[in-house]
Amino acid sequence: MVETLEHLIRQSCEHPRHSRTPLYKELLRSEAFLLTVDEPLEAETATRVSHADESFPVWADKDPELGGVWVPVFPSRDSVSSYVSGRKLKAPKGKEFLWMGQKPGAVFPLLRHVRCFAGLRLVLDDKSTVAIDWSDVKTLAEGRLPSESPEVYELPVAELVLPRGLRMAFGRVALGPADGDGKLLCLPDAGHFRAEDVRKLVRLPLGEQETAWMACRHFLQVLRLLRGPGATKRYVEDMLCSLVGFEMFGEAEALCDWLLRRGAQAYAWVAMAVIYARTGRLAECADHCRRAARRYPKEKTFVIHGAKAYLRLGRKEDASALLSQALDRFPGDASLLSALQECA
């Protein structure tokens, strides 16, 4: 029921560290609504249901800090109208705002096809929104409930050297039933994070077998704090590696777009192949890798990723052709021959 979903959204906002399982269960059995910008409809009330392979002009908000996009999802038509009027949004000329109804559970696989998708935000009103990031949306798209324990990631960079004298603050964080509580590290000079951010943690070895954990988003703030003059390239590489490592693929894709505009094409093209593969956007991955293999004929990464994507799509002939062309450039290459055997 709409009232139940609205209550659970409000409850999750007021108590961000409490269990979200009741909310997720209700989401999987409730209709959801999206805001779109499209051609005017003749009928004022119509439910429009999209499929995963259908493109549509969904409204999304760009993260001003990390660049990924967050799609607002609403529990009712009234909340869509309140969102438009509350923000005083205006549709482009010849277009109008429309609400798009989605059958229970259908919104999650649909949104994963949105470019630079960082996650969704459940919107009840201006004061009641709940962020659900990419990894939890993926789990919900598979019809499963995300774990209540935080997602814990290993340190994505070779080392993290903190300057002497940098202020530190420590707290406690629940790691889950198996691990109990851990030490939560915060560097106030880097910025502040929200309570819900501790649902994604990175492990930090402190030496002498001591370990602390940091919210992933706060870790990215720390990287930004530590970058210095002349360290831009290393900083960008560390940011991109961290975003991919933390499964923040929408933000990583946005960073790749930034790199492409600044001439770092080769590095960005390799990263995009990994992002497409890991997010399951197989058709985009195969097409991207096919074009990249022609553009960078000495880079085998594109051939391997592209062939795997074609195989998962059931297109063995395309995979075989891509690998055979690469073998002309790399005769007898063991990795390419091994991949070619999978096409037999």
pLDDT tens, position by position, 287-315: 999 999 999 988 888 999 999 999 999 99
Tell me the sheet residues that pair with 120: 71, 132
Global pTM? 0.88
Q: What is the pLDDT of residue 229?
A: 55
CA distance 84 to 200: 31
pLDDT in tens, 114-171: 889 999 999 998 888 999 999 999 999 999 999 988 999 999 887 777 788 888 899 9
Q: What is the pLDDT of residue 256?
A: 94
Confidence of residue 45 (pLDDT cuts 50, 70, 90): very low
Q: What is the pLDDT of residue 55?
A: 56
Confidence of residue 44 (pLDDT cuts 50, 70, 90): very low
Residue 213 has pLDDT above 80, yes or no: yes
Q: What is the pLDDT of residue 112?
A: 82
Residue 188 has pLDDT above 70, yes or no: yes
Three-state DSSP at 11 gives helix
Q: What is the pLDDT of residue 46?
A: 43
Across the range 27-52, mean pLDDT stands at 66
> Residues 147, 150, 155, 157: what is their CA dihedral angle, to the nearest 10 degrees?
80
CA distance 239 to 223: 7
As a whole-number percent, the residues of the chain with pLDDT over 70 amount to 92
CATH code for residues 248-341 = 1.25.40.10
The structural domains of the chain, with segments of one domain joined by +, span: 2-141, 151-225, 248-341
Across the range 264-272, mean pLDDT stands at 87
Confidence of residue 230 (pLDDT cuts 50, 70, 90): low
The first and second tokens of residue 130, run together, are 């709940």
Residue 254 has pLDDT above 70, yes or no: yes
In contact, 198 and 17? CB cutoff 8 Å: yes
Q: What is the pLDDT of residue 333?
A: 83
Across the range 82-99, mean pLDDT stands at 83
pLDDT in tens, 325-343: 888 888 888 888 888 888 8
Tokens 């995300």 appear where? 146
Give me the chain's average pLDDT, please: 86
Across the range 171-198, mean pLDDT stands at 87
The residue among 194 and 91 whose pLDDT is bigger is 194
Tokens 């001439």 appear where? 263
Strands (E) across 43-156 are located at 61-62, 69-74, 96-102, 117-125, 128-133, 151-153
